[in-house]
A and B are shown apart, each in its own frame.
Chain A
Amino acid sequence: MATTACFIIVSRNDIPIYEAEVGSTVKREDAAHLHQFILHAAQDIVQDLAWTTSAMFLKAIDRFNDLVVSVYVTAGHILLSE
């Protein structure tokens, strides 16, 4: 289980508007790139998944080795991913 997390809010235009790295471990130097890349790519999955369910919390939608992407989609299609 990863002990680091990246929380990001994405606007309905797919623009990241808030980003926070949380976690107890020492941050990898490339963490910002890594997390941004993974979360950005996960939007492809969200765009498909968001319309197939009425649930707002999409749970774990993607997995990148030990990093898991879970998403909460608001009614206005603002994404809260981590």
Chain B
Amino acid sequence: MANFLAQFQTIKSSSDHIVISVEDVSGLWPTVKKGFEERLPFKRACLNNKTRNSVFVENLPAEFILTTDARLRSRFPHEQYLFWFREPYATIILVTCEDLDEFKTILKPRLKLIVQNDEREWFIVFVSRAHPSNDQATKMAKKVYSKLEVDFSSRKRERCCKLDIHSPEANFWEDLDFKIVESIRNTLDRRVQFYEDELRKLSEQRFMPVWNFCNFFILKESLAFIFEMAQLHEDALREYDELELCYSETVNVPGKQRDFGGLERGDEQAALLNSGNKPLNEIVQDDSFREFEFRQYLFACQSKLLFKLNRPYEVASRGYSFIISFSKSLTSYESILPFCMREVWVVTASLALIGATSSHYKEGLVALDVEKEFHRLEGDLYSLCRLKFMRLAYMVGYGTYLERSPVNSASLSMLPWPKPAVWPSIPPDASSEVLAKEKMILQASPRPKHFGIQRKQLPLEPSILLREANRRRASLSAGNMLEIFDGRPIDGVVSPSNKPHTAAMVRTNSIPGNFESSIDRPMRLAEIYVAAEHALRNTISNPDLLKSLSSLEEFEQKYLELTKGAADNYHRSWWKRHGVVLDGEIAAVSFGHGNFDLAAKSYEKVCALYAGEGWHDLLAEVLPNLAECQKILNDEAGYLSSCVRLLSLDKGLFLNKERQAFQSEVVRLAHSEMKQPVPLDVSSLITFSGNMGPPVKLCDGDPGTLSVNIWSGFPDDITLDSLHLTLTATFNTDEGVKALKSSTPIVLNPGKNTITLALPPQKPGSYVLGVLTGQIGKLKFRSHSFSKGGPAESDDFMSYEKPVRPILKVFNPRPLVDLTAAISSALLINEPQWIGIIVRPIDYSLKGAVLHIDTGPGLKIEESHAIEMESHTDVMDKTTMENRSLGEKNNCHSLKIEDGQVEFPDWASETNSVMWIPVRAVSDQLPRGSSSGAYSGLYLIFMYCRLMTDV
């Protein structure tokens, strides 16, 4: 049966619709043909599917063919059985007769002869040519027709219908349609049943030695084709799915060595959507088919049906899985296939699938979920294609132009190199190409990173290509690295990511033009590129792909097209992370082309994503690129912001030297000729908090000082030209904010700094810290960020809420100090004596306080003695205060009085103390030393004492 494969495919391709044969007994076809053909295609034809359920086919195409037609006549009986799908599904017998005798003697026997073949589905259309005005003729026609009905129709089956040419009955055409479709349905059911029986028999023999997959295939595909012709695509698809399953079961039977295929020119161009790529008889092998071609053929048949079912999404979905699994098969046969066959096939397959699915896909026709999933698959296909394309480009020397980004590195560094049996060798007479490649390698020095960042470049290769290529060459033994590296010692440890082009840079022994010896010595990198390029030219037959790898410009164009395609589809599928990451790759290309504006926009999107989600390792990779763009674009605000963001990142992500470079850029710009002051939020870099412990307490009207801790994230000292800190009243938000200013420059050291700010008198209430603002040159910065205890001590970094702990409390006016006399006895006239004033601070610090003493008339401070002060508790320890006399100075501190004012010592600011004032009551009338109660007014003196706490 396998011999019929070629014929089978030809017939299959030439017949794609159902055939209805017309037995024109009375030469009527030319008359009725037009009317019949107008019924095509049949609308809402009711057929049975494989599970014998009724299905309405919207449009069933068919063709009327006369039985005398050559197409139906020249068939051999055995072909009928093999290619049953092309046999007529119904036979219409066109007759007319105007005479009853004629009917009986001529027509009836003839008709009996025609319909004796029971296998055919037939019915008779009696055409009446009688004019309606001709009653006799009409009557005769009716008679003949009724006789016909009696002879050929049965109770079970109505097999006759009558067409009046001059005035067709209204329901004739519906009746005709019904009868045709009924015949088709019956034929279809019978044929399906037959094929199913045959297939069942064959399936049972599947594990027997006589099993022949080709036979099974022809039957199975015939059945699928029968369904396809009947527009029952769903059933046809199921047949192909079963066929695929059966093939995969039988193809890998152990012990049977089969050719895989894929060795012919042009095979690298995926044919997964082109079922007619190769004739089936060319890919047959023994009792089965070659895997390489046949699996693609089956997928092409399935996808064709899926497209007919308007399910491009499913084609993409199945296609992606198919490419992945087929790629694995290609890997296992890699050693016999042409160089990089797998990569090239995946590229062409992905592109073909993307092209076909996107052209069949119409937006808005499917549910949102399916739409998202479709774009996700398209994105995956683009990504896959992009990845393999990058690998090919790397092999021919464009690797230095590939961005060493996390996405490229993650994809390429874990993707193994191709494993050909023997790595391609350099062709003869390729010296000029090698020189060109060497020149390209030398020119493509890696772009130094901005800010002098010396990060180790991310690898794009699983291992050094130089080593891999030379290891796989037949004539070389592996491992002699010194030989490979032109006899030069290698600095440091060789790691996959460690400057892959070192070897090419240090060519000292190479003699351009002398390539004959390249068989024996290791190939240099440029030679590997040239060898790979030549090998790829042999592999690739697709002119577009060859063109895309022919020059750097063409490569970049294709690379950009694939990256954009992937990014665009990922965005549409709401996979923003995948999309934005690829936007970053587009930005890198834009940057390389000097299109900094576009690059900056894309980089901003990437940075916003990483920063928003807090993936700092990834952000640290991209942010310097954005900063560089902004610098080139003279976007001062953006550049400053980027520098600050770089400084705010985790310290471990950059070297201190690099962080210093960020800071110096900030300072340089701040002090440069910026046209306008640039506002900048440095909340992540400068944080602040009040002192730990209780808030500062002040009384209404009192000035004070407030010390604030400021944490600087800058790596070096930084000078702030001015600093403002707002205090927000907690009791009344309408009150606005009070700004504390420090106009003198403040130098912030890295880490914690404590600064003291003068606090002007405030209204009573509680205050919390608000916003820190300041200026560095022309840079106006602002920080909202509170530190709970400094970044180092903070372990609760999940908590971002604003601390509400008041830093300052200003109280209402109240007595702040209690002054009472220590002695209430009478004074001796004209005798110097000590008067004690007990000073008790009432929850208030008397630091810097000044006591004004006004003695009043008749009392004089004895200035020859110093005023003394001692702790009140010391005084209480003494047996009696009355015993105190001038000259006793236990634990006393001398104080000076000037113009009736005494400055309080610091030690007495918080504790109760006694101030001893030497006084003398003066009276001209009384003799010295006499005692009198006349100076009771002395108490009043202290009432006038006034404390001032000038702070």
CB within 8 Å of A: which of B309-361? none
- Is B456 a contact of A29 with CB atoms below 8 Å? yes
Indicate if the CB atoms of A33 and B456 lie closer than 8 Å. no
Q: Do A30 and B456 form a contact, CB below 8 Å, given A41-B581, A44-B575, A44-B576? A: yes
Residue B621 lies at the interface, judged by CB distance under 8 Å to chain A? yes
* Smallest CB separation, B577 vs chain A (Å): 5
Does residue A55 face the partner (Cβ distance < 8 Å to B)? no
Residue of B372, B497, B578, B618 touching A36 (CB-CB under 8 A): B618
Contact A17 to B414, CB < 8 A, known contacts A40-B615, A44-B578:
no
Q: Give every chain A residue within 8 A of B411 (Cβ-Cβ).
A: 64
Which positions 2-24 of chain A face chain B at CB distance < 8 Å?
11, 13-17
Chain B window 596-640, contacts with chain A (Cβ cutoff 8 Å), 1 for yes, 0 for no = 000000000000001011110110010000000000000000000
Task: Name B615's closest neighbour in chain A (CB-CB).
Answer: A40
Taking residues whose C-beta sits less than 8 angstroms from the other chain, chain B's interface range is 20 to 34
Q: Is the Cβ of A34 less than 8 Å from the Cβ of B410?
A: yes
Chain A neighbourhood of B703, CB < 8 A: none
For B577, the chain A residues whose CB sits under 8 A away are 40-41, 43-44
Verify B798–A17 contact, CB threshold 8 A: yes
Contact of B615 among A13, A16, A30, A48 (CB under 8 A): A16
- Interfacial chain B residues near A38, Cβ < 8 Å: 410
CB pair B458 A40 closer than 8 Å: no
Contact call B495/A15, Cβ cutoff below 8 A: no
Cβ contacts under 8 Å, A37 to chain B: 406-407, 409-410, 581, 618
User: How far, in angstroms, from A7 to B610 measured CA to CA in the complex?
Assistant: 19
A65 at the interface (CB under 8 A from B): yes
Answer yes or no: A32 CB below 8 A from chain B CBs.
yes
User: Which B residue sits closest to A19, measured CB to CB?
Assistant: B617
**A66 vs chain B, min Cβ distance (A):** 7
How many A-B pairs have beta carbons closer than 8 Å: the answer is 66
Asked if B415 and A65 sit within 8 Å, CB to CB, the answer is: yes
Query: In the bound complex, do residue A29 and residue B495 qualify as a contact, i.e. CB atoms below 8 Å apart?
Result: yes
- A60, chain B: closest CB distance, angstroms: 15
The reply on A58 being an interface residue by CB < 8 A is no
A5 → B minimal CB distance (Å): 15
B459 lies within 8 A of chain A by Cβ: yes
The complex places the Cα of A34 from the Cα of B413 at a distance, in Å, of 10
Distance A11 CA – B407 CA, assembled complex (angstroms): 23
Contact A33 B621 (CB under 8 A): yes
Residue of B nearest to A34 (CB): B410
- Interface flag for A67 (CB, 8 Å): yes
Contact residues, B406-422 vs A (CB, 8 A): 406-407, 409-411, 413-415
We find that the number of chain A residues with CB closer than 8 angstroms to chain B is 23
B-side contacts of A17, CB under 8 Å: 798
Task: State the Cβ distance, B379 to closest chain A Cβ, in Å.
Answer: 10
Contact with A along B557-596 (1 / 0, CB 8 A): 0000000000000100001111001000000000000000
Are the C-beta atoms of B497 and A29 separated by less than 8 Å? yes
Residues of A within 8 A of B409 (CB): 30, 33-34, 37
Contact B414 A66 (CB under 8 A): yes
Q: In whole angstroms, how far apart are the Cα atoms of A38 and B613 in the complex?
A: 14
- Known: A33-B406, A65-B415. Is A15-B621 also a contact (CB below 8 A)? no
Contact B617 A36 (CB under 8 A): yes
Query: Which residues of B have CB within 8 Å of A33?
Result: 406, 409-410, 458, 617-618, 621
Chain A proximity of B412: nearest CB distance (Å): 10
> Nearest A residue to B653 by beta-carbon distance?
A32
Partner of A34, one of B406, B415, B456, B615: B406
Given A15-B614, A16-B615, A29-B456, A67 contacting B414 (CB threshold 8 A)? yes
Most chain B beta-carbon neighbours within 10 Å: one of A11, A13, A34, A44: A44
Interface string of A35-55 (1 = CB under 8 A from B): 011101101100010000000
Chain A positions within 8 Å of B406 at CB level:
33-34, 36-37
Scan residues 55-78 of chain A and give those whose CB is less than 8 A from a CB of chain B.
Answer: 64-67
Q: Which residues of B contact A44 (CB under 8 A)?
A: 570, 575-578
Residues of A with C-beta under 8 A to B497: 29-30
- Report the separation of the CA atoms of residues A16 and B497 in the bound assembly, to the nearest whole angstrom: 27
Return chain A residues, CB-CB under 8 Å to B415: 65
| Known interface pairs A15-B613, A29-B456, A36-B618; 5 further A-B residue pairs with C-beta atoms within 8 A, sorted by A's residue number | A30-B456, A34-B409, A40-B613, A40-B618, A44-B576
- A residues lining the B interface (CB < 8 Å): 11, 13-17, 29-30, 32-34, 36-38, 40-41, 43-44, 48, 64-67
13 contacts between A and B (CB under 8 A): A14-B613, A15-B614, A16-B614, A29-B495, A29-B497, A32-B617, A33-B617, A34-B406, A36-B617, A37-B409, A41-B578, A64-B414, A65-B414
Binding site for A on B (CB under 8 A): 372, 406-407, 409-411, 413-415, 456, 458-459, 495, 497, 570, 575-578, 581, 610, 612-615, 617-618, 621, 798
